[in-house]
Structure 1
Amino acid sequence: MTEALPGVNYQGPPRHASGSRGGRGDHRDVQTSRRDRRPNRRSKRSRRPLIVAAVAVLVVLGALGAWTVKNDGYLFGLRTPLAAADYEGTGGEPVTVEVPSGNGYTIGAELAEQDVVASAAAFVHAFNANPDAAAIQPGTREMRLQMSAASAVELLAQNEVDRSGFTVPEGYTVDQIKQSLIDQGWPQADVDAAFEDIASLLPPEADGEPEGWLFPSTYAVKPDQTPAAEVVQQMIAETTSLLDALEVPADQRETVLIKASLIEREARMAEDRPIMAAAIENRLAVDEWLGIDASLLYGLGRTSGGLTSAELADGSNPYNLSVRGNKGLPPTPIASPSRASIEAVMNPADDPEVFFWCTVNLETGETKFANTQAEHDENVAELHAWMEANPGWNG
């Protein structure tokens, strides 16, 4: 059967007398007219490969874009405009930096704050790309301002640490500081004696409790030259001097150090500290539980790790600030806070609505803040999703 063309009333070719020129001419005219009115199927077929190719290109570009974002803005090892800020070269003026213990982001955040690298994210990328980075040790290091992240990692991986002094990292507890003194050569008997008599070295507002009063810094002391008690005295004097400089009243100093120590153990980014300080003040103002896990961990004698339901429910632990624990602040600081954390307590963010925070990425330290319980629950769910995607991660 002859297929009828749309829009054409097709009856078949007209019949003419055999050998009629006019008939053949008429027949050709009719056929030509009919062909002219047929849809251009060949044109449509020729466009299909182009459309398929265009879609394929878009899919590839989308995949490359997603891969680039996932890899911190790098594509096959090359920087793209999506990459985090980074300097070029090996840096300018020399600078002394206290390299903290921790993962690549912890180190990168400190270097970015000191303007050694342009961003913590760029440092993390360079850290992950350098197989020697895992051997980087904390301590006092001679570096340069505005180094490329790659050159900063390379320099740190050489581990040329200045061992001429004693370094107290930010966020260390009294027990960690004691062990560090022993590990670096001070006789254990002298260290034990120094801490047994520490109440005589503390100001009255400390009420005999040294936690939080041993300022994190590097001290020009050596085991064979400086008694342990003198080192401890220097740490306490440094804290007192800073509180004097910030004009913290004596009757508020212990409270300021408690709040600052909570922030020190929770914050991973400098910009988060004032917001955390605001959240603490807002919750205390309405008599809400603080719910800070770092405090409960301290009460359990730990500085990291997960918490069991039984531990969260144990209200007898005075450092348990969960809803089944204790309201208000813990009885003492939980670590040695940095100047940045102390200043955050003295100058919290102007945000009367913020009540919650949750670190949603344990590797980068990304923290999200929330005003409502519902928003906070979403952030907690994001953290749980990250943990499921990174089983066994321990930074």
Structure 2
Amino acid sequence: MAESLHDFFDDHAQWTGPIPEPPSGQPSRREKRKQRKAKNRKRMRIIITTIIVLACVIGGGYAVVRTLGNINTVEVQRTTAEDYEGPGDGSVSFTIESGQSSSEVAQNLVKEGIVKSVGAFTQALAASKKDVAIQPGTFDLKYHMSAASVVAILTDPTKASGYLVVTPGERMSKIIKQAAQISGIDSEEFQNIVDQGGQGILPEEAQGKFEGWIEPGSYNVKSKHSASEILQEMVHARIAKLDKLGVPAGTDRERILIIASIAEAEVNKAEYYGKVARVIENRLTQNMTLGMDSTVAYGLGIQTLDLTNAQLQDATNPYNTRVNAGLPPTPISMPGDNAIQAAMDPPAGDWIYFVTVNLQTGETKFTADKDQFEEYVAEYKAYEQQHANN
């Protein structure tokens, strides 16, 4: 049967006269039939393609449902992880090393008999707040504790002991004091190593001084047996970090640490470190004294706010950059990554003065103009007077 009534009449119609020629430019009836058949075939292909696509979508949806079903099954299995109940019994000291993964911690907890299963601990950790993290350190725990109770302790920094935390900007004197207190090793053992120039521990460019050569971070000093072992770990960590940051070796490395430590001490916002470093470089280029109160205070072993006018004029202090030209003899603290990177590549600028005009917000203003500098000083004094009255 013909595909349509048009095809039927086209196939069976009889002409009694000669077949007329189609008007010029118009397709013949045969050509029209071909065009209609082509359209029908195209329409059929579209229908078939649509059916295939729908089948794939439906099949994919089924696969997703199966996958979700499997996930739900896993969740059900997780809820059945074996766990102890209650606060536990007895007493056990448990140490977490810096950098240990949660799975390592979980396995060690099971080995010590503190939690019943790895699954119970990982489930309790996942159920805790998203912003918590397992802290390095030594913790006082009990045997047979519920996983949730263990997680609550291991994620609380106040519960950790045995770890020395060095923060950017800290001085060596404070680090020694804390290391001795936490490790139980006599502070004189640390001081003797410092006084002897850190032989076998410090690199040559440190010139026998530890300041600047301790890497900020957490250290398990409780597990160490000597001051030498503790100091060596912290210095090696510093050298590794400097290598990673691409800090030039040799005397350039010490110079960068000095500038970075001053920037760290002078301002309390990382966004200003680079500008302070540029001020230092500009002043050195122009043969100006640095005029940094932070270096003067370091040389006296006090804080900047405790300086007197007489101390600021004391040229016998080798760290007094108000009266002595050039950089101070050593770094004045343990600078962090941001300050070190800023000292390596300070931004371009002609600044030679800066003033922190607001101690609460840390807002600091930079200029190359002496008069504008005096305006900034006046702004700071007004801030200081306002807060002194409060």
The TM tier, using the shorter chain, reads 0.5 to 0.7
SS of the aligned residue for 1:184 comes to helix
Task: Tell me the distance in 2 between the aligned counterparts of 1:320 and 1:312.
Answer: 7
User: Is 1:160 matched up with 2:158?
Assistant: yes
The answer to whether the 8 Å contact 2:179/2:221 transfers is no
AA aligned opposite 1:230: E
RMSD: 2.6
Match of 2:381? 384
Equivalent of 2:369, from 366, 369, 372?
A: 372
Higher-Rg member (1/2): 2
Q: State the Cα distance separating 1:280 from its structure 2 match.
A: 1.0
SS of the aligned residue for 1:381 comes to helix
SS of the aligned residue for 2:183 comes to coil
SS of the aligned residue for 2:383 comes to helix
Match of 2:327? 329
Rate the CA distance shift 1:366–1:163 in 2: closer, same or farther, 3 A: farther
Rate the CA distance shift 1:248–1:95 in 2: closer, same or farther, 3 A: farther
The answer to whether the 8 Å contact 2:221/2:230 transfers is no
AA aligned opposite 2:353: F
Q: State the Cα distance separating 1:194 from its structure 2 match.
A: 3.6
SS of the aligned residue for 1:391 comes to helix
Q: State the Cα distance separating 1:225 from its structure 2 match.
A: 3.6
Matching of residues 1-395 of structure 1 within 5 Å: 92=130, 94=132, 160=158, 162-188=160-186, 189-197=188-196, 198-219=198-219, 221-245=220-244, 246-322=246-322, 325-351=323-349, 353-391=350-388
AA aligned opposite 2:268: R
Task: Tell me the distance in 1 between the aligned counterparts of 2:160 and 2:271.
Answer: 29
Q: State the Cα distance separating 1:226 from its structure 2 match.
A: 4.0
Q: State the Cα distance separating 1:191 from its structure 2 match.
A: 2.5
Rate the CA distance shift 1:96–1:304 in 2: closer, same or farther, 3 A: farther
Task: Tell me the distance in 2 between the aligned counterparts of 1:330 and 1:272.
Answer: 20
The answer to whether the 8 Å contact 2:355/2:373 transfers is yes
Task: Tell me the distance in 2 between the aligned counterparts of 1:97 and 1:385.
Answer: 43
Describe the superposition over 1:158-181 as per-residue Cα deviations: whole angstroms up to 9, x where unpaired.
Answer: 863543522112111111111111
AA aligned opposite 2:239: T
Task: Tell me the distance in 2 between the aligned counterparts of 1:202 and 1:335.
Answer: 16
The answer to whether the 8 Å contact 1:195/1:229 transfers is no
Task: Tell me the distance in 1 between the aligned counterparts of 2:224 and 2:321.
Answer: 43
Count of aligned positions:
243
TM-score by length of 1: 0.57
Task: Tell me the distance in 2 between the aligned counterparts of 1:278 and 1:365.
Answer: 18
AA aligned opposite 1:252: D
The answer to whether the 8 Å contact 2:258/2:327 transfers is yes
The answer to whether the 8 Å contact 2:194/2:209 transfers is no
AA aligned opposite 2:295: S
Rate the CA distance shift 1:313–1:194 in 2: closer, same or farther, 3 A: closer
AA aligned opposite 1:347: D
Q: State the Cα distance separating 1:383 from its structure 2 match.
A: 1.0
Task: Tell me the distance in 1 between the aligned counterparts of 2:273 and 2:325.
Answer: 21
Task: Tell me the distance in 1 between the aligned counterparts of 2:270 and 2:317.
Answer: 30
Task: Tell me the distance in 2 between the aligned counterparts of 1:190 and 1:316.
Answer: 29
AA aligned opposite 2:175: I
Q: State the Cα distance separating 1:199 from its structure 2 match.
A: 3.1
Rate the CA distance shift 1:95–1:274 in 2: closer, same or farther, 3 A: farther
SS of the aligned residue for 1:200 comes to coil
Task: Tell me the distance in 1 between the aligned counterparts of 2:263 and 2:159.
Answer: 28
Task: Tell me the distance in 2 between the aligned counterparts of 1:345 and 1:301.
Answer: 24
Describe the superposition over 1:48-106 as per-residue Cα deviations: whole angstroms up to 9, x where unpaired.
Answer: xxxxxxxxxxxxxxxxxxxxxxxxxxxxxxxxxxxxxxxxxx985556899xxxxxxxx
SS of the aligned residue for 1:363 comes to coil
Task: Tell me the distance in 1 between the aligned counterparts of 2:134 and 2:339.
Answer: 21
Q: State the Cα distance separating 1:315 from its structure 2 match.
A: 1.4
Task: Tell me the distance in 2 between the aligned counterparts of 1:332 and 1:312.
Answer: 19
Overall identity of the aligned pairs, in % = 33
SS of the aligned residue for 1:212 comes to coil
Rate the CA distance shift 1:253–1:311 in 2: closer, same or farther, 3 A: same
Rate the CA distance shift 1:208–1:222 in 2: closer, same or farther, 3 A: closer
SS of the aligned residue for 1:378 comes to helix
AA aligned opposite 1:264: E
The answer to whether the 8 Å contact 1:178/1:191 transfers is yes
Task: Tell me the distance in 1 between the aligned counterparts of 2:294 and 2:354.
Answer: 13
Describe the superposition over 1:227-246 as per-residue Cα deviations: whole angstroms up to 9, x where unpaired.
Answer: 22111011111221122221
Rate the CA distance shift 1:96–1:326 in 2: closer, same or farther, 3 A: farther
Task: Tell me the distance in 2 between the aligned counterparts of 1:95 and 1:281.
Answer: 41
Task: Tell me the distance in 2 between the aligned counterparts of 1:318 and 1:199.
Answer: 24
AA aligned opposite 1:232: L
Task: Tell me the distance in 1 between the aligned counterparts of 2:221 and 2:174.
Answer: 18
The answer to whether the 8 Å contact 1:359/1:367 transfers is yes
Task: Tell me the distance in 2 between the aligned counterparts of 1:248 and 1:195.
Answer: 25
Task: Tell me the distance in 1 between the aligned counterparts of 2:135 and 2:362.
Answer: 21
